[in-house]
């Protein structure tokens, strides 16, 4: 059984998310004295204090980020884009922390460079785009589907695990990264038939060490459906709410609600443009559904229907209170 | 010059907001050793250590809240609804902490009971409804308007100051009250021509003691216009977002955004029904304007117009960043 502490981690992209994960791994895997623990049916690690400690590598187009991370003693070695394959050959656990399309492109372009037996994971906020190209038209709840003629293009000896940490902040780049952003958050895994149970165990163990509260395991289509609502729709709403403000002095009249609803409108425009368009159908359907609820409330206000309005708000309060319990 | 510490405060309604203000006054006016300080052109208080310390009174329909507040040593004396006038006769500074329509009704019904020379203020989230009845069709930026035949029905010897603390939480009642909710928040005052400068000074001093970061002074129509956006529209959106959720397990897929956007959907249904309907025209106009922005973004997604989407999101980020500065 592999042990996290002895593995070499590699980051493809050391921005906000890559930097945050690298910091959390540095602190919680390499620096903490916590014992490796057994989760569910995972095999116990073979204790061997003689083993060499693993390292953290990173590649990024931004050399300054790499130098800063080296200086922060978060990474042990930096690689330029041209040295990518050299890094991948030495890495046991690769985190691809790029935008969705770039993640797919990277996987396909560097497929042959990954070390045999290594674990590769991504953090992309949309999955169908990537999963259908890599694994073929399969999802974890159905048999290997071939009706569209697509089948897996992935290597059997490199285990690619689809993952999505539901955390972040409104900053950008390595300088905004923070190893604490995962504490108390959700992490979604979309295990595929090809994933090895041993590697999924290691992935779960690593995620737990990041401080994550809950690991959700689902298929990638469900992921894209749910995320269209909890994440993308919220960013669309927050952006609309800022766009519709009559001026940028409005927060002088704020009581916290407007500020809370629009914090995520401090948005990374190119990333979210790509996320919105990559999950277009699901997102459009969620926007329509939200518009329906908004219309219902608007209509009760327009017609001065106090009983109806009170009844909607009462059931909303109950539903939201229920949500707080899980 | 009156001094806050020597005044008797009375609370009409000791719920979430009344309780929170009472707690803050108890702690920051009566218990803290801070000196009374001079703001702007306000006259300095005449220091007189012999003066009797003021008290805090409260009236509420909920006797349990009053007993709890007595037990918490937040109030010194409790009054039943039937004893209201007895309380008002002894009070130098009255906080009316009722729903908007009940505030107006209370002012009119108990007009003659207020102590001559006293200051009366309210916390209602909509103001036009109250102000036009009490002061007549006047606002602070125009001459005393009489075109609608309405003029002030208020007493000359009792100073009623329109106020709105922009703070709160999603709890309900005295048991949810918290003297710290005002820290770092905004408080809106709508001074009228009839308000005495000396009393406005005391009001500002008291508000500052609550921990408020910024006092905004405006007219009540501007208040209702701005609040329709920063507060009421946000509650409509949060409620719609909960209403449109396909189930109450959705937060398992949450990354913080959905939770932040819907916290205020833990809404007090009767209060917000009244707030929405009392400011109906302004709110409907804000909903329409928000729908316009949402449509613009939706349309860019529908037509896969990445350039347009990126440009909207970029300007949204800049506008929101600007908002953070004030």
**DSSP letters of B34-95?**
PPP---TTPPPPPP-TTSPPP-EEEE-S-HHHHHHHHHTTS-SEEE-GGGHHHHHHH-SEEE
Residue B35 has a pLDDT of: 56
Model confidence at B146: pLDDT above 90? no
Task: Give buried/exposed letters for B89-104 (b at 16+ CB in 10 A, else e).
Answer: eebbbbbbbbbbeebb
**Residue A212: closest C-alpha in chain B:** B255
**Residue B299 C-alpha, separation from nearest chain A C-alpha, in angstroms:** 9
CA B228 – CA B91 distance, rounded (Å): 33
Query: Is there a contact between A301 and B276 if contact means CB atoms under 8 Å apart?
Result: yes
Considering CB atoms only, which of A269, A304, A313 is closest to B313? A269
CA A130 – CA A315 distance, rounded (Å): 38
The tens digit of pLDDT for each residue in B178-220 reads 999 999 999 999 999 999 999 999 999 999 999 999 999 999 9
A323 contact residues in B (CB cutoff 8 A): 242, 245, 248-251, 262
CA B172 – CA B168 distance, rounded (Å): 10
A294 contact residues in B (CB cutoff 8 A): 236-237, 240, 287, 291
Q: What is the ipTM of this complex?
A: 0.90
Give, rounded to a whole angstrom, the gap between the first and last alpha carbons of chain B.
33
CA A286 – CA B260 distance, rounded (Å): 18
Query: Is there a contact between A322 and B237 if contact means CB atoms under 8 Å apart?
Result: no
From the list A23, A34, A94, A100, the residue with the least C-alpha distance to A65 is: A23
- Identify the bridge partners of residue B218 per DSSP, sorted by sequence position: none
Query: Is there a contact between A244 and B289 if contact means CB atoms under 8 Å apart?
Result: yes
**Residue A184 C-alpha, separation from nearest chain B C-alpha, in angstroms:** 10
- Backbone dihedral angles phi then psi of residue A241, each to the nearest 5 degrees: -70, -35
Interface test with A, best of B298, B312, B313, B324 (most A CBs within 10 A): B313
The tens digit of pLDDT for each residue in B106-126 reads 999 999 999 999 999 999 999
CA B233 – CA B297 distance, rounded (Å): 18
- Backbone dihedral angles phi then psi of residue B96, each to the nearest 5 degrees: -95, 110
CB B186 within 8 A of CB A253: yes
Model confidence at A138: pLDDT above 90? no
Q: What percent helix, strand, coil does chain B show, rounded to 5?
A: 50, 10, 40
B24 versus B48: the higher-pLDDT residue is: B24
Q: Percentage of residues in chain A with pLDDT exceeding 70?
A: 90
Residue A324 has a pLDDT of: 79
CA A76 – CA A90 distance, rounded (Å): 13
From the list B63, B276, B262, the residue with the least C-alpha distance to B174 is: B63
What are the E-state strand segments in chain A?
9-12, 56-59, 77-79, 93-96, 119-122, 159-166, 186-190, 214-217
CB B181 within 8 A of CB B168: yes
**Residue B213 C-alpha, separation from nearest chain A C-alpha, in angstroms:** 10
Query: Is B147 strand, coil or helix?
Result: coil
How many CB contacts within 8 angstroms connect chain A with chain B? 289
Question: Tokens 């002074």 — which residue?
Answer: B217
**Residue B138 C-alpha, separation from nearest chain A C-alpha, in angstroms:** 22
Confidence band, pLDDT 50/70/90 cuts, at residue A2: confident
- Whole-prediction pTM value? 0.90
Query: Is there a contact between B283 and A260 if contact means CB atoms under 8 Å apart?
Result: no
CB B88 within 8 A of CB B10: yes
**DSSP H or E segment with residue A20:** helix A16-25
For strands B77-79 and A77-79, give the pairing.
Answer: unpaired
Residue B152 has a pLDDT of: 79
Considering CB atoms only, which of B234, B246, B255 is closest to A166? B255
Question: Tokens 């953070």 — which residue?
Answer: B324
**CA angle at A107 for the pair A104 and A113, rounded to the nearest 5°:** 165
- Backbone dihedral angles phi then psi of residue A29, each to the nearest 5 degrees: -105, -50
**Residue B260: closest C-alpha in chain A:** A260
Considering CB atoms only, which of B235, B298, B314 is closest to A269? B314
Residue B195 has a pLDDT of: 97
Query: Is there a contact between B309 and A277 if contact means CB atoms under 8 Å apart?
Result: yes
Q: Percentage of residues in chain B with pLDDT exceeding 90?
A: 84
Query: Is B165 strand, coil or helix?
Result: strand
**Residue A172 C-alpha, separation from nearest chain B C-alpha, in angstroms:** 12
CA A156 – CA A140 distance, rounded (Å): 17
Query: Is there a contact between B284 and A298 if contact means CB atoms under 8 Å apart?
Result: yes
Model confidence at A139: pLDDT above 50? no
Query: Is B198 strand, coil or helix?
Result: helix
CA A220 – CA A140 distance, rounded (Å): 8
B126 contact residues in A (CB cutoff 8 A): none
A315 contact residues in B (CB cutoff 8 A): 243
Residue B52 has a pLDDT of: 79
**Residue B266 C-alpha, separation from nearest chain A C-alpha, in angstroms:** 5
A110 versus A1: the higher-pLDDT residue is: A110
Within 10 angstroms of residue A174's Cβ, the number of other Cβ atoms is 27
**DSSP letters of A139-202?**
-TTS----TTS-B--S-TTSEEEEEEEE---S--SGGG--TTTTTT-EEEEE--TTS-HHHHHH
Interface test with A, best of B126, B224, B243 (most A CBs within 10 A): B243
Query: Is there a contact between A255 and B214 if contact means CB atoms under 8 Å apart?
Result: no
Query: Is there a contact between B293 and A321 if contact means CB atoms under 8 Å apart?
Result: no
CA A224 – CA B71 distance, rounded (Å): 53
**DSSP H or E segment with residue B297:** helix B280-302
Residue A52 has a pLDDT of: 79
B286 versus A49: the higher-pLDDT residue is: B286
- Identify the bridge partners of residue B78 per DSSP, sorted by sequence position: B58
DSSP A214: E
The tens digit of pLDDT for each residue in A4-44 reads 999 999 999 999 999 999 999 999 999 875 555 555 667 66
Which two three-digit tokens encode residue B289?
């304007």
**Residue B48 C-alpha, separation from nearest chain A C-alpha, in angstroms:** 37
Q: What percent helix, strand, coil does chain A show, rounded to 5?
A: 50, 10, 40
CB B178 within 8 A of CB B23: yes
For strands B159-166 and B186-190, give the pairing.
Answer: antiparallel
Residue A18 has a pLDDT of: 98
Query: Is there a contact between B277 and A306 if contact means CB atoms under 8 Å apart?
Result: yes
CA B142 – CA B151 distance, rounded (Å): 14
DSSP B14: -
Considering CB atoms only, which of A239, A255, A312 is closest to B313? A239
The tens digit of pLDDT for each residue in A256-303 reads 999 999 999 999 999 999 999 999 999 999 999 999 999 999 999 999
From the list A234, A242, A299, A317, the residue with the least C-alpha distance to B283 is: A299
- Backbone dihedral angles phi then psi of residue A21, each to the nearest 5 degrees: -65, -45
User: What is the average per-residue pLDDT within B289-311?
Assistant: 98
CB A74 within 8 A of CB A25: no
DSSP A118: -
Model confidence at A325: pLDDT above 80? no
Distance of CA A31 to the CA centre of its chain: 24
Which two three-digit tokens encode residue A285?
């359907």
Distance of CA A192 to the CA centre of its chain: 17
From the list A104, A130, A144, the residue with the least C-alpha distance to A221 is: A130
Residue A42 has a pLDDT of: 72
């Amino acid at each position: 059984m592999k042990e996290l502490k002895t593995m070499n981690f590699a980051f493809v992209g050391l921005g906000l998310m890559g930097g945050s994960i690298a910091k959390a791994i540095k602190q919680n895997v390499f620096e903490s004295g916590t014992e490796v623990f057994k989760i569910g049916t995972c095999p116990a690690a073979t204790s061997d204090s003689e083993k060499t400690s693993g390292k953290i590598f990173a590649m990024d187009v931004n050399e300054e980020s790499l130098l800063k991370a080296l200086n922060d003693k978060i990474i042990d070695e930096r690689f330029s884009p041209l040295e990518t394959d050299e890094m991948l050959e030495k890495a046991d656990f690769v985190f691809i922390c790029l935008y969705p399309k770039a993640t797919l492109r990277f996987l396909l372009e560097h497929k042959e460079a990954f070390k045999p037996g290594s674990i590769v994971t991504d953090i992309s906020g949309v999955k169908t785009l990537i999963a259908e190209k890599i694994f073929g038209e399969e999802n974890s709840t159905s048999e290997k589907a071939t009706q569209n003629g697509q089948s897996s293009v992935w290597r059997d000896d490199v285990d690619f695990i689809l993952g999505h940490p539901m955390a972040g902040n409104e900053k950008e780049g390595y300088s905004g990264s923070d190893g604490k952003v995962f504490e108390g958050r959700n992490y979604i895994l979309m295990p595929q038939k090809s994933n090895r149970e041993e590697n999924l165990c290691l992935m779960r163990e690593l995620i737990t060490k990041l401080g994550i509260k809950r690991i959700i395991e689902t298929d990638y289509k469900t992921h894209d459906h749910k995320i269209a609502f909890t994440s993308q729709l919220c960013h669309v709403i927050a952006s609309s709410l800022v766009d519709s403000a009559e001026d940028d002095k409005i927060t002088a009249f704020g009581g916290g609600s407007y500020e809370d609803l629009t914090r995520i409108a401090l948005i990374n425009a190119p990333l979210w443009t790509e996320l919105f368009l990559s999950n277009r159908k699901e997102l459009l359907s969620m926007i329509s559904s939200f518009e329906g609820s908004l219309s219902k409330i608007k209509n009760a206000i327009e017609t001065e229907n106090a009983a109806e309005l009170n009844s909607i708000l009462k059931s909303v309060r109950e539903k939201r209170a229920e949500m707080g319990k899980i």
